[in-house]
Copies of this chain bind each other. A is one copy, B any other.
Amino acid sequence: MNSSLGMINAFDPSAASALDADEKEMIARRQRVLGPSYRLFYQHPVHIVRGEGVWLYDKAGRKYLDAYNNVPSVGHCHPHVVQAVARQMAVLNTHTRYIGDEVLDYAERLIATFPAVLDQVMFTCTGSEANDLALRVAKNATGGTGIIVTRLAYHGITETVSGISPSLGANSPLGPHVYLVDAPFSPAQAGAAEKVGPRFADGVRTALAQMEADGVKPAALIFDTIFSSDGVFADPPGFIAEAIAAVRAKGGLFITDEVQPGFGRTGEAFWGFLRHGIEPDIVTMGKPMGNGYPVAAMVARHEVLADFGARSRYFNTFGGSSAAMAAAAAVLDVIESEKLQDNSLKTGRMIQDGLRDLASRYPIISDVRGAGLFIGVEIAKNADGRLEPSSGIAAAIVNGLRERGVLISASGPSANVLKIRPPLPFGRAEATLFLDLLDDTLKWVVRIATA
């Protein structure tokens, strides 16, 4: 059995090579003391000791261009966030059962980034907790239990949300009343941009029909609007509307998981769903919200929350705590003051342009897609004149880039989509460096593939 359990870009200890004595010892310590579900990235894992902006440094002092990590979204160790957390922790760090300024100030500021109908917030510590809560709320509000997710969705690791996360693998059981739909096609794959929405909606309508045949009442359709683990699908803007309307027509809600596209990452809008011009019923968010400080949230329409509130109190010990709110507010400060959404848009376009140029020279690049600084690059091989997804070449590129000092990963059902998702301050110089090193890696990959 592959010890990675199907995880893309997982280190496989049985195939280990190139590890020095220190790395071997660290890995042995991990295997001894951490549970067996832990995984490392890369064939040659990286021992990181320091981070700054878009750079990570290993133990030997070598630096890596971070084109992958979306949690330190405003940059590793951003001083404004570090100072805000340190200042707040030194003054007060308590919970929401006392009246507190921090949680209200931030809640109002966060709500102001949403369309007016999305008017109430509940704080959690992780995106998993936010999605878990969103499912409880959706079930209460609709009286339904059926959940529709994409075929390779990832929404987190509580028992309930791991049950709607088929990307965790065949051994991780799906929950009851979970219905899978195919991820969207890209415009190139669909043949025409206008076919993308109806094809995605067809899948959702089929799932709804199956639910009806099973006597299951729909609760919600949930996906992230960048389809991160499904392989990155962003276009055309608006294509998700038809699927959402189909679910609503049957009494279900739409939950948008903004853990991946939220907080300016897609460049074109502060939230991924805004790119599509739709208004969800529930929005969840997490990872980049506190730049690494654990803070997450669920925002919803008050009428959606009413029934849950009438039945259930909800207290999340660290959720909405003073220091969490300080971290989250500082992140908003930096996104605004450093114009990171705009940077994401500009740098993202520059990278996509560069990738299309590479695609014209390397036929193994079969599709380039994404929005802002969330970009997917499909890798294919030539099989008897036909292009086929190649997880092997994608893995070689990911690991080849790692050897050249650039960190990315991959995703998608065929594990062949390069996932490029750097911290938002990634600028022109870093984009150029990234494209140069990718060019070099592609050259090497093509050489060994054809050798």
How many angstroms between the C-alpha atoms of A145 and B51 in the bound complex? 44
A93-B121 contact in complex given A33-B104, A47-B99, A159-B160, C-beta closer than 8 Å? no
Binds B, one of A223-231, A301-309, A425-433: A301-309
Decide if B313 touches A48 in the complex (CB within 8 Å).
no
Contact residues of A between 94 and 114, Cβ < 8 Å to B: 94-101, 103-104, 107-108, 111
Decide if B46 touches A98 in the complex (CB within 8 Å).
yes
Encode contact with B along A414-436: 1 for CB under 8 Å, 0 otherwise: 00000000000000000000000
Q: Does chain B have a CB within 8 A of A141?
A: no
Decide if B125 touches A293 in the complex (CB within 8 Å).
no
Q: Does chain B have a CB within 8 A of A361?
A: no
Q: Does chain B have a CB within 8 A of A172?
A: yes
Decide if A308 touches B37 in the complex (CB within 8 Å).
yes
Closest chain B residue, CB of each to CB of A291: B93
- Report copies per complex: 2
Closest chain B residue, CB of each to CB of A139: B159
How many angstroms between the C-alpha atoms of A135 and B160 in the bound complex? 12
How many angstroms between the C-alpha atoms of A38 and B57 in the bound complex? 42
Decide if A126 touches B127 in the complex (CB within 8 Å).
no
Contact residues of A between 38 and 64, Cβ < 8 Å to B: 38-41, 45-51, 56
| A178–chain B nearest beta-carbon distance, Å | 13
Q: Does chain B have a CB within 8 A of A186?
A: no
User: With a CB–CB cut-off of 8 A, which chain B residues contact A313?
Assistant: 4-5, 7, 10, 37-39, 168-169
What's the tally of chain A residues with a CB closer than 8 Å to chain B? Answer: 104
How many angstroms between the C-alpha atoms of A262 and B108 in the bound complex? 36
User: With a CB–CB cut-off of 8 A, which chain B residues contact A126?
Assistant: 125-126, 129, 316-318
| A127–chain B nearest beta-carbon distance, Å | 7
Contact residues of A between 72 and 95, Cβ < 8 Å to B: 72, 76-77, 79, 81-82, 85-86, 89-95
A47-B98 contact in complex given A286-B317, A312-B171, C-beta closer than 8 Å? yes
Decide if B311 touches A172 in the complex (CB within 8 Å).
yes
How many angstroms between the C-alpha atoms of A312 and B171 in the bound complex? 7
Decide if A35 touches B97 in the complex (CB within 8 Å).
no
A39-B97 contact in complex given A121-B33, A172-B312, A311-B171, C-beta closer than 8 Å? yes
CB < 8 Å: which of B90, B100, B172, B311 contacts A47?
B100
Encode contact with B along A285-329: 1 for CB under 8 Å, 0 otherwise: 011000011110010101001101111111111101101100000
**Residues of A participating in the B interface, judged by any CB pair closer than 8 Å:** 1, 4-5, 7, 10, 23, 26-27, 29-30, 32-41, 45-51, 56, 69, 71-72, 76-77, 79, 81-82, 85-86, 89-101, 103-104, 107-108, 111, 119-122, 125-129, 132-133, 135-136, 157-160, 162, 168-169, 171-172, 286-287, 292-295, 298, 300, 302, 305-306, 308-318, 320-321, 323-324
Which 5 pairs between the two chains have the least Cβ-Cβ distance?
A36-B309, A86-B86, A37-B314, A294-B318, A47-B99
